[in-house]
């Protein structure tokens, strides 16, 4: 086997490896992006649950405060009413902050998922283009060595063999030699 043919064969294998590597990078990035999206949804759901718990706790506290005021004979107007309203306002503020934090975490997770997917896609495109470039370069080299599409009428590397040398080649090569 000539050096040119061996070089072509290794280039084809290298090209296939580049494409496989890019495909695997894309597959891994897609899987990771999917997990990041799931984590983003879970972060939002957990924040909503935590905010609901905070509101429920505040509601219980308001009821308890109201009962304490009523049991002590204090009416629910004036200062006691202001205390109850303040408790409700603080609980609402905390619950909103928890929800906003969860939403921010979810948005960050979704952005990370999008970036991970784009990184995988870039790896796939890059490896595909590199593979095409490698194949094109090797084709050009083979063409310059007379290995392909011999339209000039000059013998290519296989045609340059003597009949004795050609007889030692496998039958499929001999048939391709013409």
Please state, in angstroms and rounded to a whole number, the distance separating the CA atoms of residues 38 and 34: 6
Rg (CA), the chain: 37
Q: Can you give the residue ranges of every domain in the chain?
A: 3-145
pTM over 0.75: no
69 neighbors 80 (Cβ within 8 angstroms): yes
Q: Please report, in tens digits, the pLDDT of each residue of the chain (178 residues total).
A: 567 777 778 888 888 999 999 999 999 999 999 999 999 999 999 999 999 999 999 999 888 888 888 888 877 788 888 888 898 899 999 999 999 999 999 999 999 999 999 999 999 999 999 999 988 888 888 777 777 655 554 554 555 555 666 666 677 666 665 5
Of residues 40, 37, 19, the one with CA closest to residue 29: 37
All residues at 6 or more sequence positions from 29 whose CB lies less than 8 Å from its CB, including other chains: 116, 117, 119, 120, 121, 123
């Amino acid at each position: 086997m000539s050096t040119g043919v061996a070089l072509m064969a290794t280039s084809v294998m290298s090209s296939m490896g580049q494409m496989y590597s890019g495909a695997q990078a894309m597959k891994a990035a897609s899987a990771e992006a999917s997990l990041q999206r799931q984590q983003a949804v879970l972060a939002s759901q957990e924040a909503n649950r935590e905010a609901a718990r905070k509101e429920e706790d505040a509601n219980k506290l308001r009821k308890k405060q109201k009962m304490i005021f009523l049991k002590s004979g204090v009416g629910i107007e004036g200062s006691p009413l202001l205390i109850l309203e303040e408790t409700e306002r603080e609980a609402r503020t905390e619950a909103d902050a928890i929800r906003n934090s969860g939403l921010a975490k979810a948005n960050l997770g979704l952005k990370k998922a999008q970036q991970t997917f784009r990184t995988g896609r870039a790896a796939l495109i890059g490896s595909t283009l590199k593979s095409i470039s490698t194949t094109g370069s090797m084709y050009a080299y083979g063409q310059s060595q007379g290995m392909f599409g011999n339209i000039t009428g000059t013998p290519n590397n296989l045609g340059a063999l003597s009949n004795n040398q050609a007889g030692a080649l496998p039958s499929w090569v001999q048939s391709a030699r013409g």
